[in-house]
Amino acid sequence: MKDWQDFTQTQPGALITSNFIADADDLGLILVTGDDAQSFLQNQLSNDISHIDKTKSQLSAYSTPKGRMLGIFRIVQIDNGYILITTKSLVDDLIARLQIFILSSQVSLADACDHFARFVVHADQVDASLTALLPNEPNAVLQTDSVISLQLNLLDGQYRYLFLCLSLEEAKSLWQQFSANLNIANFKSWRLSDIKAGIPNIYPQTGEQFVLQMSNLDLLDGVSFKKGCYPGQEIIARMHYLGKIKRRLFLATLETSQCPLPGDEICTKTATSGDGSGMVVDAVIDDKGVCHCLYVAQIKKANEQLLCLLNQPTVNFISVDLPYSLPA
């Protein structure tokens, strides 16, 4: 929505860690419609889509037959289908891949990025006049004719909301009402919030790198082990039932001013070349100069503090507890 981008660009934000509102144009939207939309998604994604309705969203993964994730979606049901919320830079490739499997199904896929103005709110409280627009628990969704609002995982006592607005004027009005009492931030602030919350995202550099358990998606209710077949299910189910999960998603702070990028290699401190120990999922340096990093790594090496960045071998990983528990 170009007019929305023009509007938010007149109000540039800084990197802020609490009580902020930020433009979310970096989030991509895929619209899935048609009589067979539900069954099609049920046969393609890791979670059981029959468990959601217009009042509840869910996380889900789209994987290759070898179980490697191509994308992670937050799914919202709407009147005529579903919206898949994902990394914007993946939208075209994900649509093209999903399109292959439509065959004779009554399903249409479309890039919906230009149809919705979108922004995020991260706050411990908002103006009382706006509470009617806010879902009251994580994963809950509220919908009007022109606004969809989602509550996501809480972080450090602050609520996290995503708004999708069909009406540009309503989006502007809501932005102005929220921003009256919140700081205007950039989207990197929201990425940092996801990192601290232990919520993984897939980027072009990390596509087909991780089975969903490696990213802790099974700990975030992003998979059903009771539903029927979907691409990668055999690998994912075998890993679950045989307990052979050797890699997990971890959180750390790094002592560096050079922020690593998604896909950067992680190796043991004694290695002189890449040894497959791990990979950066996402990283952001906060307003105090601290680098926060989500990474997938071999569990044993991560627990024993044996890791470093391949391209910054002197940088130490300082482990930080995730806001949810990892299996022992």
DSSP of 10-44: TS--B--SSSEEEE-TTEEEEEEESTTHHHHHHTT
What percentage of the chain carries pLDDT values higher than 90?
86
Distance CA 163, CA 116 (A): 9
145 and 285 in one domain? no
> Among positive and negative, which fits the CA dihedral 140, 286, 70, 299?
negative
262 and 203 in one domain? no
pLDDT of residue 192 exceeding 90 = yes
DSSP structure class, residue 186: -
Of the three residues 216, 242, 268, the one that is the final residue of a domain is: 242
91 and 169 in one domain? yes
Lowest pLDDT segment from 3-12, 27-36, 257-266 = 3-12
255 and 197 in one domain? no
Residue 296 lies in a domain: yes
Average pLDDT, the chain: 94
**pLDDT at residue 273, as a whole number:** 83
Range of the domain at 267: 246-321
**pLDDT at residue 249, as a whole number:** 98
pLDDT of residue 270 exceeding 90 = no
Burial track 82-108 (b if 16+ CB lie within 10 A, e otherwise): bbbbbbeebbeebbebbeeeeeeeebe
CA separation, residue 308 to residues 249, 267, 288 (Å): 15, 6, 22
pLDDT of residue 11 exceeding 80 = no
**pLDDT at residue 322, as a whole number:** 97
151 and 287 in one domain? no
Confidence of residue 114 (pLDDT cuts 50, 70, 90): very high
Confidence of residue 90 (pLDDT cuts 50, 70, 90): very high
pLDDT of residue 2 exceeding 80 = no
Residue among 30, 34, 12 nearest 21 (CA) = 12
| CATH code: domain of residue 250 | 2.40.30
57 and 192 in one domain? yes
Residue 103 lies in a domain: yes
93 and 221 in one domain? yes
**pLDDT tens digits, one per residue of 32-73:** 999 999 999 999 999 999 999 999 999 999 999 999 999 999
151 and 262 in one domain? no
| CATH code: domain of residue 139 | 3.30.1360.120
Residue 107 lies in a domain: yes
Residue among 153, 157, 217 nearest 190 (CA) = 153
Residue 326 lies in a domain: no
What is the spatial order of strands in the sheet that 147-151 belongs to? 141-143, 147-151, 159-165, 117-123, 20-23, 183-185
272 and 170 in one domain? no
Distance CA 294, CA 284 (A): 9
259 and 232 in one domain? no
pLDDT of residue 254 exceeding 90 = yes
279 and 190 in one domain? no
pLDDT of residue 272 exceeding 80 = no
Distance CA 171, CA 163 (A): 9
303 and 209 in one domain? no
**pLDDT tens digits, one per residue of 147-185:** 999 999 888 889 999 999 999 999 999 999 999 999 999
Residue with tokens 């999960």: 245
**pLDDT at residue 243, as a whole number:** 80
CB atoms within 10 A of CB 53: 9
The tally of domains found in the chain comes to 2
pLDDT of residue 1 exceeding 80 = no
Asked whether the whole model's pTM tops 0.75, one would answer: yes
**pLDDT tens digits, one per residue of 200-253:** 999 999 999 999 999 999 999 999 999 989 999 999 999 999 988 999 999 999
